[in-house]
Structure 1
Amino acid sequence: MTELNINAASLAPAGFDIDTWLADTAGAAQFDLSHVMAKGMPIHPAHPPFHITLNNRHGDTVRYCGHSSANELMCGSLHSGTHIDALCHASSHGKLFGGIDAAEAQAGTELFKVLGAETIAPIFRRAVLLDVAGVLGVDALEPAYEVTAADLDHCLAAADTEIRPGDVVLLRSGWAAYWADSPRYLGLDSAGAPGPGVEAGRWLAAHRPFAVGSDTSAFEVMNHHDITLEVHKILIAEHGIHIIENLDLQALAASPHRTVALVALPPKIAGATGAPLRPIALA
């Protein structure tokens, strides 16, 4: 039998140098764009509460060698904390992206048969930060502020870059600063939370990104007097664009970088409408 000698270098595509990539990555500025998941963190009212507790404690079972272990039980939606929406998350007039019948896709007890979280590709992509709050000269947008296409044009000009098809577009409202205050962060004690309206949603879709994301719980504007979630419909159901919510963009916005490499690996959860995410920006 011939012995196989397989190493990482032999699996790398031609032209890819592992050592160079590792050295470049180690030398890059790194920004963790996720929030810590914990009991009491903000959860959008459309989703069930998040709960985590110890299931087994050290000392409950002690092996003869002295070993003991602990583990936890976690309950909640996969739309808790920083997460990405799968394409089965939103529908338009009963249809998922690609014209798939939503009722048929979710029939039965095994979640979605198509477009679940397991189909979200690993993210190794160029990302562009559009700092709406920064361009408007405020620390954070006002409650229920509707981000317009003109706002996004100004942000793109200020970033002095372009959005290319397949990029990830990150919108900063400044509301990550309110993460520790759930009612304020969710807009429950005000007119609502800021975000793009329909006009800006169509602007984003026209640039054909792989995903868009923001530092709020619902990405789009949440005006309590008129909540439609039409931007979700436009992006996810009509254009197949993923949405990332509950990002922490504060440190990245404080840096000079507006174009970064984004790395994130969504867990492959069969049939799920979303997945937790820990995005890292490299610049």
Structure 2
Amino acid sequence: MSDALLDAVLGGVDVVDLGRQLRVGMPQSPNHPQFWHTLPRRHGDMVRADGGSAANDMITTGTHVGTHIDALAHVSHDGEMFGGVDAMAAGVGGKYDELGVHTIAPMMRRGVLLDVPAVLGVDVCEGGYEITVADLESAAEHAGVEVGEGDVVLIRSGWGSLFADGAPYVGGPSGVPGIGEAGAQWLAERRVHAAGADTIAFERLAPGGGHALLPAHRVLLVESGIYIIEALDLEQLAARRRYEFTFVLIPLNIYGATGSPVRPLAVTSA
């Protein structure tokens, strides 16, 4: 029996990689352990009798480094996580059984790109700029899409173009553009499945303010059960004007973890 999805794949698909390459020294939030990669064994360290040799690797990393997804266990407010789960009690034993990243099902959903700089007439939103509800609605109109229930909404600020610069991407003194509480409420009202951005913390960071206040995380993760994806590479997607696509994301199945590195894909017919 023919499968429609397989037929579409065999007919040809175009894939845009939305994930950042994991490299030692890449920019990241100072609140999380850094990514580290080393080679415990290199070619020639051990050579078999037939002349063969093998190299191997070891990595250590925080789960919120590089392109990654926040599980619902990542944030609490007034001692509670999503669904009223007691945050302190849930962490006993060193893992989050109920809301850990292992509870996030593999995603294959409608994805929508909201390209905010395109409607503001700029290349990159300024540091500390709050992306407003009006900006989101204008970007949706520009894209010719309507954000609906179950969608994955990706918000481009253009800040991702600074990723290779390191510290400017982290944006300590300058702040980082992103939505605020109002923008998060707008997404929650549309009952999206997940929301992502091309910045280090998804939402607006005030100049010099760091991660002191994260109201969008509270609205989405704690109050609404909506996953957050951070540090996406949205430049190629925007350049191709791909505003609607099949979004594919599979977190690492780490039991009880608060997040996971991911390599999301935007897939369309070729």
Please report how far the alpha carbon of residue 250 of structure 1 lies from its aligned counterpart in structure 2 after TM superposition: 0.4
**TM-score, normalising length: structure 1:** 0.90
Q: Does 1:23 align with 2:4?
A: no
State whether structure 2 residue 62 is matched by structure 1 residue 77. yes
Counterpart residue number, 1:123: 107
- 1:18/1:124 CA distance change after superposition, 3 Å: closer
Amino acid at match of 1:214: A
SS in 2 for 1:192: coil
- Secondary structure, aligned partner of 1:281: strand
In structure 1, runs of 5+ residues without a counterpart are 1-8, 10-14
Question: Which one of 104, 115, 119 corresponds to residue 89 of structure 2?
Answer: 104
Q: Secondary structure at the match of 2:147?
A: coil
Q: 1:146 to 1:19 in 2, by over 3 A?
A: closer
Instruction: Report the alpha carbon displacement of residue 108 of structure 1 after superposing the two structures with TM.
Output: 2.0
Distance 1:150 1:241 in 2: 21
Deviation at 1:257?
Answer: 1.9
Q: CA RMSD in A?
A: 1.5
Q: Once the 2 structures are TM-superposed, how far is the Cα of residue 265 of structure 1 from its aligned partner?
A: 1.2
Match status 1:282 vs 2:256? no
The question of 1:259 aligning with 2:253 is answered: no
Distance 1:272 1:249 in 2: 26
What displacement does 1:217 show?
A: 0.5
Aligned to 1:5: none
Tell me the CA shift for residue 28 of structure 1: 2.7
Task: Write out per-residue CA displacement over residues 105-126 of structure 1, whole angstroms, 9 at most, x where no aligned residue.
Answer: 10123x2122111111101000
- Paired position in structure 2 for 1:6: none
The answer to whether structure 1 residue 215 and structure 2 residue 202 are counterparts is no
* Secondary structure of the structure 2 residue equivalent to 1:54: strand
Matches within 5 A, 1:265-276: 265-276=250-261
The letter for the 2-side match of 1:22 is V
CA distance in 2, matches of 1:141, 1:121: 33
AA of the residue aligned to 1:16: D
Number of the residue aligned with 2:184: 201
CA distance in 2, matches of 1:120, 1:17: 26
Counterpart of 1:158 (choices 126, 142, 150) is: 142
Runs of 4+ in 1 over 4 A off after TM superposition: none
Q: CA deviation at 1:18?
A: 5.5
Equivalent in 141, 160, 183 of residue 125 of structure 2: 141
Q: Name the count of aligned residue pairs.
A: 266
> Who wins on radius of gyration, i.e. which is larger?
1
Give the match's secondary structure for 1:180: helix
Percent identity over the alignment is 45
TM-score after normalising by structure 2: 0.94
Q: Distance in 2 between matches of 1:141 and 1:218?
A: 15
Q: Distance in 2 between matches of 1:136 and 1:37?
A: 31
Q: What is the alpha-carbon distance in structure 2 between the residues aligned to residue 102 and residue 18 of structure 1? A: 41
